[in-house]
Amino acid sequence: MCCMLGVGAVLAHYGFAFKVLNIIAGLYLLYLGAMLFFSKGQLSITKVTQLPSKKQMFLNGAVVCISNPKAWIFLSALLPTFLDANDPFSLPRILSITVMLVFIEFCSLSIYALGGAILKKFLQTHLRLLEIFTAVIICAIGVLMMLR
């Protein structure tokens, strides 16, 4: 919501700032892809003896989401396309975008949770292949963002 009211409104009025943000985001994705490609990741699965409380898990997830720079950059680049230059602070528009993003996020995280159990065995034997594949895709998206 902060992005819609602040950075999103600025980017809607200044096309140059939007292009600069796309280039910065593309370079960041290239960096992430290169780091992943050259990493020698190891999968470590340990048994948890005591699960954290639901409240603690929620707070941990909220802190991670709020402090994630990729999410801020993504929303700052995405939202100006949905803002009206004549009325960038339209409450119905902001609420509808927020509801859609929350719904999409809920669906995405549910799919991740369901797929996690299935992918556990695959990752134990094919982790490096997955890292290389992911790194190439991230770099390709970074290049496309910069060329856009």
pLDDT the model gives residue 1: 57
**For residues 23-61, b (16+ Cβ closer than 10 Å) or e, as one string?**
eebbebbbebbeebeeeeeeeeeeeeeeeeeeeeeeeee
pLDDT the model gives residue 71: 81
CA nearest neighbour of 128 among 44, 39, 46, 45: 39
pLDDT the model gives residue 7: 66
For the chain, helix (H) and strand (E) counts, in that order, are: 6, 0
Which regions of the chain are under pLDDT 50?
A: none
User: Tokens 């982790």 label which residue?
Assistant: 127
The pTM (predicted TM-score) of the whole model is: 0.47
